[in-house]
Amino acid sequence: MTFRHSKPQDKQPLHILAQEKGLTLFNKPPGVTTAAEVGHYLVHRLDKGTSGVLLMARTLPMKKALEALFKKREIKKTYVALIKGKHRKSEGTIQNLLTKKGAYQGQTLYGSAKTGQKAVTHWKILEQRKGHALIELHPETGRTHQLRVHMAEMGHPILGDLQYGREAVFPAEIDRLCLHAYRLAFKHPETGQRIQATAPLPKIFKL
């Protein structure tokens, strides 16, 4: 087994992708814990190792409105990941129940079970490469570690996942979790305008 840990990163201001009435969409780098920027409120989170689009509210009323959109699944999320191995199918859906399954290196692990929270992920292979694949993921639900668990349980852990892919051997150049929140799309809760923000793929995804 080969383990590589993400390089520590200093706290830095997040790059702004877009700013609309009452809200801001940021591009979070990997290795940074999700935290509210000055003058903002969190409405959702990304795992520390995950990069990409992060939505924050600038007022409490907007915070409540955006949280309601997430709860009603009216905010469409698109992720891109590098997964280990080649996939025989080009697209599909994985659906199961997720629950806590213990811990590893001080962090809670989740897995499928007969009882738990419903988790649904739609996926599509974008490109097959030597020993790994670039995959697009559309989570219908937003369970903790959902995408990481689903990929691992399909037998294709996300490159750099030292929790759910801890038994896998990753390429030496992988020094982060290769999961990226690529796009968020939704209707502005006040204006009705369609909002869409995309965070460019990091260079490591061109491996």
Rounded to an integer, what distance in angstroms lies between the CA atom of residue 116 and that of residue 4? 31
Q: Is 103 helix (H, G, I), strand (E, B) or coil?
A: strand
pLDDT digits (tens, 9 = 90+) for 63-98: 999 999 999 999 999 999 999 998 889 999 999 999
In a domain, 198, yes or no: yes
In a domain, 100, yes or no: yes
In this predicted structure, what is the pLDDT of residue 5?
44
pLDDT digits (tens, 9 = 90+) for 141-197: 999 999 999 999 999 999 999 999 988 888 888 999 999 999 999 999 999 999 999
Pair of tokens at residue 149 = 């668990």
For residues 150 and 39, the answer to whether their CB atoms sit within 8 Å is no
The number of beta carbons lying within 10 Å of the beta carbon of residue 187 is 13
Closest of 99, 98, 95 to residue 120, by C-alpha = 95
Q: Is 24 helix (H, G, I), strand (E, B) or coil?
A: strand
The residues carrying an active-site annotation are: 47
CATH number for the domain harbouring residue 103: 3.30.2350.10
pTM assigned to the model: 0.91
**Confidence category of residue 6, pLDDT binned at 50, 70, 90:** very low
Cβ neighbours of residue 132 under 8 Å, at least 6 residues apart? 82, 83, 84, 85, 86, 159, 171, 207
Closest of 2, 9, 1 to residue 173, by C-alpha = 2
Rounded to an integer, what distance in angstroms lies between the CA atom of residue 68 and that of residue 153? 30
In a domain, 3, yes or no: no
In a domain, 2, yes or no: no
In this predicted structure, what is the pLDDT of residue 9?
47
Q: Is 35 helix (H, G, I), strand (E, B) or coil?
A: coil
Q: Which long-range contacts (CB under 8 A, 24 or more apart) does 198-204 make?
A: 198/17, 198/53, 199/17, 199/27, 199/51, 199/52, 199/53, 201/80, 202/30, 202/51, 204/82, 204/173, 204/174, 204/176, 204/178
Rounded to an integer, what distance in angstroms lies between the CA atom of residue 75 and that of residue 204? 27
The dihedral over CA atoms of 117, 35, 78, 8, expressed in degrees to the nearest 10, equals -110
Query: In total, how many domains does the chain have?
Result: 1
More confident site: 130 or 175: 175
Q: The domain containing residue 193 runs over which residues?
A: 15-206
In a domain, 6, yes or no: no
Looking at the DSSP assignment, which residues form a beta bridge with residue 52? 28, 181
In a domain, 201, yes or no: yes
